[in-house]
Amino acid sequence: MDQALIRNFCIVAHIDHGKSTLADRFLELTHSVAERQMRDQYLDRMDLERERGITIKAQAVRLRYAPSPGAPDYELNLIDTPGHVDFTYEVSRSLAACEGAILLVDAAQGIEAQTLANFHLAREAGLAIIPALNKIDLPAADPDEVARELAALVGGEPADVLRVSAKSGDGVPALLDAVIDHVPAPSGDPAAPLRALVFDSTYDPYRGVIAYLRVVDGEIRGRDRILFLSNRFVSESEEVGAFAPEPEPVPSLSAGDVGYLVTGVKDVRHAKVGDTVTLARHGATSPLPGYRDPKPMVWSGLFPAEGGDYPLLRDALDKLKLSDASLVYEPESSLALGFGFRCGFLGLLHMDIVKERLEREFNLELIATAPNVEFLVRRGEETTTVHNPSEMPAPGTYDDVEEPFVIATVVTPSTYLGPVMDLCQSRRGSLQDLKYLSPERAEIHYLLPLAEIIFDFFDQLKSRTRGYASLDYEHWGYEPSDLVRVDVLLQGEPVDAFSSVVHREKSYAYGRVMTERLQKLIPRQLYEVAIQATIGSRVIARETVRAKRKDVLAKCYGGDITRKRKLLEKQKEGKKRMRRVGRVDVPQEAFIAALRVDQGAVGERK
């Protein structure tokens, strides 16, 4: 197709501002999906996405649209992006494949933290930005006010802000027209050697890696010998196609096109997202600007509940990695939990999703240790990266420890500024900047340790602002902090899975909460069990599980010995499923419950 008739764009929005619904309307308006196949959130293919109402994986779809009768058909490639802060890197990938972005804002909610974050990303990527209000038909909508806010943000007049209702379809044609008018056509060179950006990929068990491509220069056909520029890996492409919206083979993709490439590559590491594909012969020599590799920010140990499932877990992770390049993992062995993997995630939502996919798609039962951030331990000239609290060296053996910090953006009604600042302050935050989007709404920037916001910060923020505040953050760098490792000991034996690295001021609270929690979770045993929290050799909290005094069937005659034996056999089975720490039996459920993160951050004033 003539590049002049192609537009590549995406929709960026805060979560729940209606991005997926707008995409559904685009599909309908352009008759891209047969009516009977249409369903809500069409582009969210994973069950998990549909259940949670979020987009996890980027999707692309080709729309054909003639702005007026008799006008030529345009090819509009919509690249749908995830909306959660964990997946910011996916947003940046999608942006790299586009020339324009619709910045969609809920007319009732106004600008939110992710609106700001996404706007800045899109502007930095040099995209044309089309501001639009959604949900203008909601009773609570205040389109005039929100249009003013949005115009002030992107520059321009409030009148230029388009107004749509993705639910009813009002204003959607005008929005598509604006995409054609305002988003520049691609400007690559169709005659130049092939350069195509892999902006995402999936893995098909039969066909291998399927790369999502944005062709910048040149042309690629169904059967070409292709070359991945970053690693010089050569493969034979098997098929190219477009998303219409289901994959549909085409003879070729050329400059400006968006589509897919069946790479013929069986190992996802050879066809990395962000790489540039060219032809093996007469190929390009310089890659397109890639984007940063996603960096795991949150670490957690995943252990099979049944020790024998370790090989299954390893296979499952290998398979999941094929469609989720951001997942990293390394074998880990825990005295308490056996063999498992220390996994790195983009954030807590990502961790949650990976765990749920492993359990659901691979039928595994998993125990996850409490998530932690990565620490840099400095000793003289030497820096060690620690992903696992139990690997944190003893106090006094290092110079200092650094932890990752983020710049958090909170957008809140000004009436809640006080509670929001209190919360950030209690999480070791330092105020960077405070701006008013309007007299009623403020935008605050805080420098915060990542560890303080990954757990329940968002929930706390929501509860202190009646759900009105929104949050986004970007990584800032590492700073030294007064961090200590708190260990939890059962009868003097440290339980590695319960070790945590926390700020010294919060270490007592952590120790107290963990020992109290375990005191309730560990069943009474033959002998008293001492539960201690320690920093180095110093005990900071202690609880005791008293020895069990009675465990016997009172009555044991009448001849029905069978039943008694079966009761005892059941008790024996239960004992077998416990994890043994020294001479203490700890039920699996106790690990799961003690390591749960949704019980509120330790040390938080409620």
Partner 1 sequence: MTERAGLYVHVPFCLTRCGYCDFNTYAGLDHLAGRYVESLRAEARLTSPEWSGATFVSMFLGGGTPTTMPSKTIAGLIAHLRESFALEPTAEVTSEANPDTVDEPYLVGLLEAGVTRLSMGVQSFDPVVLDSLERIHSPQSARAAFTAARAAGPSDVNLDLIYGAHGESLDSWQRTLDEAIAMGPEHLSCYALTIEPATPLGRKVAAGLVPPPDPDLQAEMYDLTCSALGAAGYEHYEVSNWAKPGHRCVHNLGYWDGRPYLGLGAGAHSFRDARRWWNVRPPQEYLELVASGQLPTGGEEHLTDEERGLERLLLGLRTADGVPKEWLDPARADRFVADGLAVSRNGHVALTDRGMLLANELTLSL
Q: Say whether residue 580 binds partner 1 (CB under 8 A).
A: no
In the list 331, 544, 561, 596, the residue contacting partner 1 (rule: CB under 8 A) is 561
> According to the binding rule CB under 8 A, does residue 223 interact with partner 1?
no
Strands 239-243 and 233-236: unpaired
CA distance 602 to 507: 9
Return the bridge partners of 162, or none: 132
Q: Which is nearer to partner 1, 504 or 548 (CB)?
A: 548
When the beta carbons of 385 and 562 are compared against partner 1, the nearer one is 562
Question: For residues 54 and 80, what is the distance between their CA atoms, to the nearest angstrom?
Answer: 11
* Residue selected from 558, 598, 605, 606 as contacting partner 1 according to rule CB under 8 A: 558
Q: Please tell me whether residue 575 binds partner 1 under the rule CB under 8 A.
A: yes
> Which H or E element spans position 593?
helix 588-594
Using rule CB under 8 A, residue 582 touches partner 1 = no
Distances (CA, A) of 30 to 26, 35, 76, 122: 6, 11, 10, 25
> Which residues share a beta bridge with 302?
341, 368
Please report whether residue 549 would count as binding partner 1 according to CB under 8 A: yes
For the CB of residue 497, give the shortest distance to partner 1 in the complex, in Å: 25
Q: Where are the beta strands (DSSP E) in 14-67?
A: 59-65
- Minimum CB–partner distance for residue 338 and partner 1 (Å): 22
Widest Cα–Cα separation across the chain: 94
Question: Min. distance of Cβ 583 from partner 1 in angstroms?
Answer: 10
Q: What DSSP assignment string belongs to 318-378? A: HHHHHH-TT-EEEEEEETTTEEEEEEEESSHHHHHHHHHHHHHHS---EEEPPPB--EEEE
Residues 6 or more apart whose Cβ sits within 8 Å of residue 291:
89, 92, 93, 96, 274
Nearest approach, Cβ of 96 to partner 1 (angstroms)?
60
Q: Rule CB under 8 A: say whether 554 interacts with partner 1.
A: yes
The token duo for 568 is 């005892």
How far is residue 522's CA from residue 315's CA, in Å, rounded to a whole number? 32
Closest distance of CB 522 from partner 1, Å: 15
How many residues contact partner 1, by CB under 8 A? 25
* Straight-line distance from the first to the last Cα atom of the chain, in angstroms, rounded to the nearest whole number: 60
Residues counted in the chain: 606
Is 397 a binding residue for partner 1 by CB under 8 A? The answer is no
Q: Which of 550, 598, 605, 606 binds partner 1 (CB under 8 A)?
A: 550
295 lies in the binding site for partner 1 (CB under 8 A): no
Under rule CB under 8 A, residue 556 binds partner 1: yes
> Do the bridges between strand 538-545 and strand 298-304 make them parallel or antiparallel, or are there none, so unpaired?
unpaired
Given the complex with partner 1, which of 282 and 550 has the nearer CB atom? Answer: 550
Using CB under 8 A, which of 35, 157, 381, 551 touches partner 1? 551
> Could you tell me which residues come within 8 angstroms of residue 362 by beta carbon, excluding any fewer than 6 positions away?
312, 313, 315, 316, 319, 320
Q: Are 90 and 55 in contact (CB under 8 A)?
A: no
Considering the complex, state which of residue 36 and residue 572 has its C-beta at the smaller distance from partner 1: 572
What is the DSSP secondary-structure string of 179-214? HHHHSPPP---TTSPPEEEEEEEEEETTTEEEEEEE
Q: How far is the CB of 337 from partner 1 (least distance, A)?
A: 23
Question: Residue 515 CB, nearest distance to partner 1 (Å)?
Answer: 21
Nearer to partner 1, 282 or 555 (CB): 555
Q: Which stretch binds partner 1 (CB under 8 A): 264-272, 324-332, 478-486, 520-528?
A: 520-528
The residue within the footprint of partner 1, chosen from 68, 285, 385, 562 (CB under 8 A), is 562
Task: Compute CA distances 538 → 51, 100, 305, 589, whole Å.
Answer: 47, 58, 32, 28
| Cβ at position 525, least distance to partner 1 in Å | 8
Contacting residues for 349 by C-beta, under 8 A, at least 6 apart: 84, 86
Residue with smaller CB distance to partner 1, 191 or 561: 561
Residues of span 524-543 touching partner 1 by CB under 8 A:
525-527
If one asks whether residue 560 binds partner 1 (CB under 8 A), the answer comes out as yes
- Position 548 contacts partner 1 (CB under 8 A): yes
Note whether 31 binds partner 1 by CB under 8 A: no
Pairing of strands 6-13, 74-80: parallel
* Joined tokens for residue 534: 């320690």
Q: How far is the CB of 335 from partner 1 (least distance, A)?
A: 21
Of the candidate spans 95-103, 113-121, 238-246, 559-567, the one that interacts with partner 1 by CB under 8 A turns out to be: 559-567
Closer to partner 1 by Cβ: residue 38 or 568: 568
Answer for which of 555, 598, 605, 606 binds partner 1 (CB under 8 A) is: 555
- Find the shortest distance in angstroms from Cβ 576 to partner 1: 10
DSSP structural state of residue 287: P
Interface residue with partner 1 among 36, 281, 572, 605 (CB under 8 A) is 572
* 394 is a site residue for partner 1 (CB under 8 A): no
Q: State which of residues 251, 308, 467, 559 lies at the interface with partner 1 (CB under 8 A).
A: 559
Q: Which of 330, 569, 577, 599 binds partner 1 (CB under 8 A)?
A: 569
Residue 420 · residue 412 · CB < 8 Å: yes
Q: Does 568 bind partner 1 (CB under 8 A)?
A: yes
In the chain, the amino acid numbered 371 is P
Angle at alpha carbon of residue 347, lines to 342 and 349, rounded to 5°: 105
Applying CB under 8 A, does 564 fall inside the site for partner 1? Answer: yes
Compute the least distance from the CB of residue 494 to partner 1, in Å.
23
Of the candidate residues 557, 598, 605, 606, the single one contacting partner 1 (CB under 8 A): 557
Region from 32-40, 75-83, 178-186, 523-531 binding partner 1, contact rule CB under 8 A: 523-531
Rounded CA-CA distance 506/403 in Å is 15
Report how far residue 282's alpha carbon sits from residue 190's, in angstroms, rounded to the nearest whole number: 14
Quote the CA–CA distance of 117 and 292 in Å, as a whole number.
17
Chain positions contacting partner 1, by CB under 8 A: 525-527, 548-562, 564-565, 568-569, 571-572, 575
